[in-house]
Every structure is written in C-alpha cells, then in structure tokens.
Amino acid sequence: MSPYIYIPLVSFAAVSFIMILVYLWALKIKNNGIVDIFWAFNFLVIAIITWLSADGFSQRKNIVFALASLWSLRLGIYLLIRVGGHLKEEEGRYKALRAEWSNAKFFGFYQMQALSNVFLAIPFFITSLNINPELKLLEYVGAIMWFISIIGEGISDWQLQHFKKDPLNKGQVCQYGLWNYSRHPNYFFQLMIWISVTVFSVSSPFGWLSVLCPLSIGFLIFKVTGIPMTEEQSLRSKGDAYRDYQKTTSAFIPWFKK
C-alpha cells in the first residue's frame, strides 16, 4: 500500500479511537469542551506516526515533526489548563449546541474532528514523504513563518488568559495587548499557521494540495465555529460592552485599529 494512503489511514484510526474515548468521557462529565483539548493533541499523535512511518528526507521530516509537535503541545496545554480548570462547567458555545444536538450528533461531531485532524495534516504527510535531499527557499520561509505564527498565537492566548485571571476583569472585555487591536488575534495567527504550512509544502510533490488547509480553516474561522460563535457568545455574556468593542477594533487583523 502506498505510504500516501497508509500513513493517513493509520493516523485516522489512531485519532478516531482517541475521540471515541474522549466522547465517552464527555458523556460522563457532561462537558463537550474537552474535545478541543484532544483535537489539539491529536496533531502530536499524527506527527509521531508520520515521523516514524514516512521515508522522506530526514532534515525536512524533522522540521515538520518539530514544528507540528511544538504547535500541538502549545495549543493542547493551553486548552488543557483553560478547559480543565472548569470541567464541571461547560463553555457557553457547547451549552448552546447541547440544547440542539442529540448524543448521536455529538458522536458524529467528535469523529468529524478526528477526520479534520487528518485532513489538516495533509501537508505533514506530503512534506515528510518528499525524498528530495535539498531544502528549497520556500521551505525555509514557510518554517520561519510557521514558528513566528506559533509564537503569535501563544502570545494572544497568554494575554487573554492573563486578563481573565484578574477578578476585577470579570464580565469585562479583554482589550489587553493584541486584543486592543483585534477581537480575534488568536484566530489570525491560527490561520497564519496553516498559510505557513502551505508555503512550506508547495515545493514538495502534490504540495499544491496543502492550499486546502488554510482555505478550510479560513472558512471555519469566518463562517462556522470561529468568529461567528465566539462573537455570539460574547454578545450574550457581555452585551453592550462587547458591541462597543466591535465598533473600535478590527475583527481579525491585529495591527489595524479603527
């Protein structure tokens, strides 16, 4: 069997099984927010499987493994701290879904999360199987962009967490650091990560397929589970304070302020 098929299939089997266990745990504790934690950590699982199974140029494969693992661990640990800190209280967006969805629909949602892990890992598979023993300029550029984007996402998350820790800020809108310029700097850098991965991948055979990742992430961020759901929840919980924030900040790009 071709490694282009074998590695994704093994990866899906692994993360699908993980998501079944997470779903059963979520049923027990009545908190579907934990899916986000394991969605992030699943990329580490896929990175390990790919690194062990792919037979591409070792330097390229090591770069992919290092950056994918760094991002997965950074995001996973952040979500583990954030969601794990209130396991008895489900986040508002999942509460809203619980009112509309059956358990069967949530099971399908968990499996779709596993499938999205594998779909978004397409660039990892492509680049790790590239046997060309020479790194191209775009691969250096993509790796640098990827690392910077991981740092930017980390800073955004840290600033929001720091703001929320202060009891005086309860019920207030975070306008600290990057959040003073953008309502969603974390989403901006998340999209930049996948753009960076695409830049890194385009020099490899079938690398053009990687463009599907930022396109799909961008669609989710702008139209589905990202900005729309986050802003709906913020308007429910913060009301006019968040409406005023919307009037003065960019919805996305962190260095433009209205």
pTM of the full structure: 0.88
- DSSP codes, the chain: --HHHHHHHHHHHHHHHHHHHHHHHHHHHT-TTHHHHHHHHHHHHHHHHHHHH--S-HHHHHHHHHHHHHHHHHHHHHHHHHHHTTTTS--HHHHHHHTT--HHHHHHHHHHHHHHHHHHTHHHHHHHT---SS--HHHHHHHHHHHHHHHHHHHHHHHHHHHHHSGGGTTPPP-SGGGGTBS-HHHHHHHHHHHHHHHHHTTSTTGGGGGHHHHHHHHHHHHSTTHHHHHHHHHHHHTHHHHHHHHHBBSS-TT-B-
Per-residue pLDDT at 257: 56
Residues of the chain with pLDDT under 70: 255-258
Per-residue pLDDT at 253: 73
Per-residue pLDDT at 96: 75
Per-residue pLDDT at 255: 62
Q: What tokens were used for 230?
A: 């986050």
Per-residue pLDDT at 165: 86
Span 88-145, pLDDT tens digits: 887 777 877 788 888 889 999 999 999 999 999 999 999 999 999 999 999 999 999 9
